[in-house]
Amino acid sequence: MEPIQIPPVDLTLIAPLLTITAWAIVLLLVDAFLIPDERKKLTGYLALAGLAVTALVAVPLWNVDGSTFSDMVVLDRYSLTLTWLFLLIGGLTIAMALEYLPRHGIEQGEFYPLILFAVASMILLAQATDLIVIFLGIELLSLTLYILTGFAYPRVTSEEAGMKYLIMGAFAAGFFAYGIALIYGATGSTNLAAINAYLAAEPFVLSEQVLLLAGVGLLLITFGFKIALVPFHMWTPDVYEGAPTPVAAFMSVGTKAAALAVLLRILGSAFPLAYEFWLPVLSVLAAVTMLVGNLGALTQTNVKRMLAYSSISHAGYVLLGVIVATERGVEAFLFYMLAYALTNLGAFAVVIALEQRSESAWSLDDFSGLFQRQPFLAIAMAIFMFSLAGVPPTAGFIAKFYVFTAAYEGGLGWLALIGLLTSAIAVYFYLRVVLRMFTRDPGRPVEPAMDRGLHLNITLAAGLTLLIGLLPMPVVNLVERSLVALGL
């Protein structure tokens, strides 16, 4: 055996990751020892500052390209754009949580550093180019999310959701570890580029590579769990309903974005030669996910569960952009994730504004006549619902258009067609919410709890959703420059 070589390390390439991790660790200590119990909101503001500083640290790296830690971590524009997206998601989540936590009597300072850790692991996932780093990133993200899901102790639903999520997540982790082991056995490496080089070195018959196929299959199962693709989606509605609402909002966009981003990198840079295997599998999964997600949302009367099913179906749409594995597909994926993150976080913020401490105002009836009582909330919610349904002139419309075009150009026309048809189904249950808000009379009075954080959050999300829908070009320019090196 060769002696172990210590590889040269370039820390500037992981500067954003280092910044946010260090900030989170220090903030955890500051929160424990310096910030008094009644002023925990200060921790939240400090966490927001940490996100802002990290975003600034990432700016000068735009023209830097490179990999370090013996090619286990890479810095490219794809990972940078994702980094900013994750920081935005983290910031909006914290802004939602600032008032939510004290209102529900579960304000603990460690909530905010935990969100920072989750964002850090997502950044790690965006930069990872080695299966073992990806494993660590996914596990770090999952571990923080298990804690955050069960954060509303002693509310039993929250603990139960945390438990369910943990069993599902640990189960998926087992598949992932075994999948990596098999791929390592087949190719002798866990590095994405090295795996591709090994496969490209000699012509091979795909069906004879049993170890490799089994390994990739196990990996796909893991990602099915993490992204909540049908038939691995059963945990999603329960966990979203039980988790504290800001955490559910964070999971519905953050986890999906990170897992899809890393799935795209794995498929594109390690297994482009095995696409005959994964393309049909993932195509079928995407089609089933779009169908079941939208049909499941049709029958829900609980808005939080409806948003959970809607997030399942949106994962199916984004998956189209990932599996065509063309440049247009990558652009569509990034654009869709940004539009979806803004819209969905906004919709969850409206749900939070209507949520009371003792009872949950998640029933559709609580939205009846909202326009008469709270025109601001009703109009914002209408914008988010239109955007989720993909109605112009919102960001959601451009995003869907982008993804379907990419799928069609990439030869997946039938999937684009299924996407269009299921979008038509989706219009029904999104518009049902809008109709109730504007036409019905109020059922029982629900006093919304608005505060500065939520107000800012909803205004920002609604404004950007409309702005990107009307003027998509700046974002399109950004994603066009954020391509990942695909091996195809």
Q: Which of residues 435-464 bind another protein (CB under 8 A)?
A: none
Are 336 and 260 in contact by the 8 Å Cβ rule? The answer is no
The residue among 10 and 160 lying less far from another protein, judged by its C-beta, is 160
Q: Which residues face 303 on adjacent strands?
A: none
Residues 6+ apart with CB under 8 A from 325: 264, 267, 268, 272, 275, 410, 486, 488
Tell whether residue 115 is a contact of another protein (CB under 8 A): no
Tell whether residue 180 is a contact of another protein (CB under 8 A): yes
Are 122 and 258 in contact by the 8 Å Cβ rule? The answer is yes
Q: Let me know how many helices (H) and strands (E) the chain has, helices first.
A: 20, 2
Tell whether residue 42 is a contact of another protein (CB under 8 A): no
Two structure tokens written together for 64: 């830097």
Tell whether residue 298 is a contact of another protein (CB under 8 A): no
The residue among 159 and 365 lying less far from another protein, judged by its C-beta, is 159
Query: Which amino acid appears at position 109 of this protein?
Result: G
Number of residues binding to another protein, judged by CB under 8 A: 44
Choose among 94, 128, 99: nearest CA to 111.
Answer: 94
Tell whether residue 91 is a contact of another protein (CB under 8 A): no
CA distances (Å), origin 389, targets 238, 448, 479: 23, 25, 22
Tell whether residue 137 is a contact of another protein (CB under 8 A): no
Are 293 and 310 in contact by the 8 Å Cβ rule? The answer is yes
Among 101, 115, 124, 182, binds another protein (CB under 8 A): 182
Q: Please report how close the Cβ of residue 34 comes to another protein at its closest, in angstroms.
A: 25
Choose among 311, 329, 169, 318: nearest CA to 237.
Answer: 311
The residue among 188 and 375 lying less far from another protein, judged by its C-beta, is 188
Tell whether residue 273 is a contact of another protein (CB under 8 A): no
The site map against another protein for 209-238 (x = CB under 8 A) is -------------------------xx-xx
Q: Please report how close the Cβ of residue 353 comes to another protein at its closest, in angstroms.
A: 23
Tell whether residue 173 is a contact of another protein (CB under 8 A): yes
Tell whether residue 48 is a contact of another protein (CB under 8 A): no
| Residue 355 backbone class (left: φ over 0; alpha: ψ -120 to 50; beta: rest) | beta
Strand ranges in 173-286 using DSSP code E only, listed in sequence order: none
333 vs 19: CA distance, rounded Å = 27
CB atoms within 10 A of CB 359: 10
Tell whether residue 181 is a contact of another protein (CB under 8 A): yes
9 vs 15: CA distance, rounded Å = 12
Q: Please report how close the Cβ of residue 123 comes to another protein at its closest, in angstroms.
A: 18
Q: Please report how close the Cβ of residue 97 comes to another protein at its closest, in angstroms.
A: 20
191: phi then psi, degrees, rounded to nearest 5? -80, 135
Among 25, 67, 71, 189, binds another protein (CB under 8 A): 189
Burial 113-137 (b: 16+ CB within 10 A, else e): bbbbbbbbbbbbbbbbbbbebbbbb
Tell whether residue 321 is a contact of another protein (CB under 8 A): no
H/E run at residue 482: none
Q: Please report how close the Cβ of residue 42 comes to another protein at its closest, in angstroms.
A: 26
Note the maximum CA span of the chain: 76
Tell whether residue 9 is a contact of another protein (CB under 8 A): no
Among 69, 117, 135, 317, binds another protein (CB under 8 A): 135
Q: Which residues face 302 on adjacent strands?
A: 363
Piece in contact with another protein (CB under 8 A), picked from 31-39, 154-162, 274-282, 342-350? 154-162
Tell whether residue 430 is a contact of another protein (CB under 8 A): no
Among 79, 93, 190, 465, binds another protein (CB under 8 A): 190
Tell whether residue 71 is a contact of another protein (CB under 8 A): no
Q: Please report how close the Cβ of residue 294 comes to another protein at its closest, in angstroms.
A: 17
Among 87, 92, 166, 399, binds another protein (CB under 8 A): 166
- Which residues contact another protein by CB under 8 A? 1-2, 4, 132, 135-136, 139, 143, 146-147, 150, 153-154, 156-157, 159-164, 166-167, 170-171, 173-175, 177-178, 180-182, 184-185, 188-190, 234-235, 237-238, 241-242
